[in-house]
Amino acid sequence: MSLMDRFPLPGQTRFFTLRLARVGSRLLVDHIADLRAAWAAMVADHPTVCGAMVVLPDHLHAVLTLPPGPRAVSVRWSQLRRDFAGRVAPEAPETIWQPEILIEPLPDAAAVNRALAACWEAPVRLGLAKHPEDWPYSSLHRDLRIAARRRLGV
């Protein structure tokens, strides 16, 4: 079974990278609860299917399936960045993020599978963990729990 069988593909699945302005910062992992709260608020306001996400010290990668529409991307990421920045740097929230978001369209299942693997393997590539499952800020843990429940028939 393909890794991406559990979420839809149509042309709106993309690989995103968001970076903090200060390279080498640990803000995202040091304030992971704030980032998770900002993510939850964004998803509550703007439904989003998250195929994979990894939060690294100064950037994050995500594979998301968004609904069609010209503002589907900008509305979601703008809210997340604004909410997180307001929580951790209320005196200057506009200064913590790099302005650009890297977006790579994922046109087929093979591209999606490569992007999912890239998310999960990023902490190992960066020397932050020996194995993908050792990094605590990854959706890989969610996916392993889902797979375990399926094996148990739960």
Name which of 84, 100, 74 is nearest 41 in CA terms.
84
**Average of per-residue pLDDT values in the chain:** 88
Residues 6+ apart with CB under 8 A from 99: none
Mean pLDDT of 81-96: 90
Alpha helices in the chain (DSSP H): 27-30, 32-45, 72-88, 109-125, 140-152
pTM of the model: 0.85
The amino acid at 105: P
Read off the pLDDT band of 53 (50, 70, 90).
Answer: very high
Residue 4: DSSP 8-state: G
Decide if 144 contacts 83 (C-beta within 8 A): no
pLDDT at 35 over 80: yes
Give the model's pLDDT for residue 147. 67
* CATH superfamily placement of domain 9-152: Transposase IS200-like (3.30.70.1290)
Question: pLDDT tens digit string along 12-28?
Answer: 899 999 999 999 999 99
The highest-confidence range among 29-33, 88-92, 146-150, by mean pLDDT, is 29-33
